[in-house]
Structure 1
């Protein structure tokens, strides 16, 4: 889980002075409340539906298990940060609203992950079996009727739908600009996923389209919209422009790092199979860039149209193409763009420095 950074110039957190943005413990306290809200909701739902029949509670338990498996909690962290950076306080009457919204963002993320794992045919997530893989295996072990895979995917679809339902329930108290932001981000992540699977099926190497997927599925959904949602709840719509520029750039850097970790990272560290995007023909921005610049990569991508895609050979070609260095340079530029977007933003307390640190954390992570 991402902890909100303390002020870079201080060796240790300082006690609250009562000024907005100065309490270094406020963000972590709000995030702790987010975890409590999610846990209490899922425990209550599991108990309620489990009392009907143990089988009825299966999708609830799948959502609960996914939440408990860990994760960076980036979206709640950026929502809380947007709220505090906009001058919101931990003792405001709006606190319950931002905590519920941040919890909704995490459950929206769980929805996206569960469905994404089905579409990507992924067997592991956060170091444990994915929902559909776990239940397909259970179906096989118990000798139940029908197809193992269809059963597992059915459970996964229902669990993902349930997570989305819970997310919308928690977001039910939003209104005005905050509600519009929530509706936009829910739509964007689904539409971005549609284009993602379309490009994978067509093997279309179009950096502009792949970048749009990265921005829609990651830049807006991970950083921009959560920050803007927090600011809207705090009553500061004037920060939307700066948060959009910062969030889209930092979010694209986040996604490019994700592409690099998938292609060249350690699956044990990331908690999911290394090279899965290549195995599943995902036209990531990394691959689209390489395919338009390197003849060998372009040939291997073209071979994929007739079933000749070799993930190991493609990974070698990517390594030799020099695209990794180019993408690292792009990440540097995007981080610089994100940080510069905050220069003139009227942020509370030390939040300019703290958001700079957060952009660096998401862009240069190793998992």
Structure 2
């Protein structure tokens, strides 16, 4: 039995929730490791997923899931909500491993990306590159299968179980469509802000905030009013989360906890930040952005030029204003929602965490 982690009815102990989620994941994957050993399966597959989860991550989806359970009136044994929350972390592992393959990202959470690790195991030739990507693809697939398996262990009554699985299926579909739009749209219409926002909504906003909140609420047997409130606050908060992530990747954070990066610029990632820069810059600087962004051999000196253009064009400031307006919208929704005090407080704290400068 997992306690609901509410202190004096006023605050949800989010650190305790994270420990509970991590404990479920470790127990589940330890079982998978024993099964693999018993059947002679390659042990490195489970270990790769374990290492990926251990590398960090905010666990914000899992936390939002449990907070959603509290907000919808969940009380007593929180085991089912925590297990649903843990399944979300395996889903995130799947999504990020596949995302890194498609982008050929060098690293994730300060460590080499899974496909790069597998490529290195096989050597450095062209064949190793292809097989390493294929191996990582299969590890990601297993993480997704295990997410579904863990979801089935939540032990919910029939109607709540159906709603949880329906929401989970909707989340998977939305992410796949968003990823498709991202992959197929890279390098085309890069100055289209609405198209970039559409990718954010499908690929990130729903799966990061809206669906995790709704999944937790479904475990608690929430009504339509709660589900609607989570849509009204979840989508803008999810968008703000991604807009902040895009700014962090390019500019880093003022406190140096997150350093400026090259990955989004080298990939030519179709971000709102870039779209605004292309829209606002004069013809000469727009041409420089088009020439530099998307080059796999982009160097730091050239990246600094891109950052300067995005700064001078006002794209960085506009993106900041978009984050602020969405955060303020979330606060207005919370003001009207009337969630229990502990859940309200946690949601406001997570809204800050999702939108502030942090690595």
TM-score, scaled to structure 2: 0.87
From 212, 226, 242, give the equivalent of 2:229: 242
Alpha-carbon distance between aligned partners in 2 of 1:147 and 1:269, rounded to the nearest angstrom: 37
Residue number among 154, 172, 196 corresponding to 2:134 in the alignment: 154
> Taking structure 1 as reference, are residues 38 and 302 closer, same or farther at Cα in structure 2, changes over 3 Å only?
same
Q: How does 1:327-366 map to 2 (within 5 A)?
A: 327-366=319-358
Q: Gaps (5+ residues) in structure 2?
A: 155-159
2:85 pairs with 1:110: no
Q: Which residue of 1 aligns with 2:157?
A: none
* Closer, same or farther: CA 121–307 of 1 in aligned 2, 3 Å: closer
Structure 1 residues 278, 88: CA separation in 2 closer, same or farther (over 3 Å shift)? Answer: same
Runs (4+) of structure 1 moved beyond 6 Å? 304-309
> CA–CA distance in 1 between the matches of 2:46 and 2:6?
40
Q: Which one of 275, 288, 295 corresponds to residue 300 of structure 1?
A: 288
Structure 1 position 184, deviation (Å):
0.8
8 Å CA contact retained: 1:59, 1:158? no
Q: Which residue of 277, 280, 297 corresponds with 1:290?
A: 277
The partner residue of 1:195 within 160, 177, 181 is: 181
Question: What is the alpha-carbon distance in structure 2 between the residues aligned to residue 316 and residue 162 of structure 1?
Answer: 42
- Given that 2:68 and 2:343 are in contact with CA atoms closer than 8 Å, whether structure 1 keeps it comes out as no
How many residues are aligned here?
A: 342
**Alignment correspondent of 1:3:** none
Match of 1:19 in 2: none
Q: What is the match of residue 322 of structure 1?
A: 314
Q: Deviations over 1:238-287 (max 9, x none)?
A: 20111111111111111110110011116x8448x812111001111111
Is the CA contact (8 Å cut-off) linking 2:69 and 2:217 kept in structure 1?
Answer: yes
Show the counterpart of 2:148. 168
Per-residue displacement from partner, 1:160-217 (whole Å, max 9, x unpaired)?
A: 1011001111222562322221111111111111111112143532111110111222
CA distance change for structure 1 residues 308 and 138 in 2, over 3 Å: closer, same or farther?
closer
Residues 303 and 25 (structure 1 numbering): CA distance in 2 closer, same or farther, change over 3 Å? closer
Distance 2:276 2:333 in 1: 26
Does the Cα contact within 8 Å between 2:196 and 2:271 map onto a contact in 1? yes
Q: 1:232 offset after TM fit, Å? A: 1.4
**SS in structure 2 at match of 1:70:** coil
In the alignment, what sits opposite 2:53?
A: 67
Q: CA distance change for structure 1 residues 33 and 323 in 2, over 3 Å: closer, same or farther? A: same
Superposition deviation, residue 365 in structure 1: 2.8
- Distance in structure 1 (CA, Å) of the matches to 2:126 and 2:265: 30
Contact 1:31 1:80 in 2 (8 A): no
| Cα 1:270–1:188 shift into 2, 3 Å | farther
1:26-55: per-residue Cα shift (whole Å, max 9, x none)? 55434322111111111221232134446x
- Which residue of 2 is the match for residue 4 of structure 1? none
Aligned partners of 2:163, 2:39: CA distance in 1, in Å?
39
RMSD: 2.6
**For residues 286 and 190 of structure 1, do their structure 2 counterparts lie closer, same or farther at Cα, with a shift above 3 Å needed?**
same
For 1:199 and 1:205, the matched residues in 2 are separated by: 11
Kindly report which structure 2 residues correspond to 1:131-142, keeping only aligned pairs within 5 A, or say none.
131-140=114-123
Cα distance in structure 1, aligned partners of 2:165 and 2:39: 34
Structure 1 residues 103 and 352, CA, compared in 2 at 3 Å: closer, same or farther?
same
Gap runs ≥5 in structure 1: 1-12, 17-21
Is the counterpart of residue 39 in structure 1 residue 26 in structure 2?
Answer: yes
**Higher alpha-carbon deviation: 310-319 or 251-260:** 310-319
Instruction: Look up the match of 1:276.
Output: 263
